[in-house]
Amino acid sequence: MKKLSHYDAAGSPRMVDVSAKIETRRVARAQAFVRIRPAVLKQLPRNPKGNPLEIARIAGIAAAKKTSDLIPLCHPLMLSHVDVDVTVEKNGVRISAIAATTAQTGVEMEALTAATVAALTVYDMTKALDKSIEIQDVYLLEKTGGKSGAYKRS
């Protein structure tokens, strides 16, 4: 089994020292799905709080930039690009987030944070219409760069 890097020899949590790593271009893409009843989806354009899809997109971008403030052992990164795409589907809203940087550590957490916060924002903006909305399927789709190389979810 591979050793977890966020623990020292005594088992205490620690921030990984990435200072010896080479800076490489790193890109990660993550997704989330917000399951919403079709009747509620039809009401999205008339949402009294505003356009939940656009607000969610902006919230996701802002969240990616704050990842190290939210996840204690994440390194603060200078992001070169973040984008969040929010698409209405038959049974809900699919969110795809991408984050990019040139750094010594990856941007998977930034992409995942963007997708998750965008999903939470859709929930917040629509909860008055339906309390049974579910946030599902939050996961990394792909990543490139770094020592471990490329990953693509099959």
Catalytic residue, chosen from 85, 124, 130, 137, is: 124
- 17 burial (CB, 10 Å; 0-12 / 13-18 / 19+) is exposed
Nearest CA to 97 among 106, 79, 110, 80? 110
Query: Which residue do the tokens 């591979």 mark?
Result: 2
124 counts as catalytic:
yes
- Give the helix ranges, DSSP H, for the chain: 38-43, 52-64, 67-70, 108-126
Backbone angles phi, psi at 91, to 5 degrees: -115, 15
Displacement of CA 76 from its chain's centroid (Å): 15
Nearest CA to 138 among 30, 62, 20? 30
* Catalytic (active-site) positions: 124
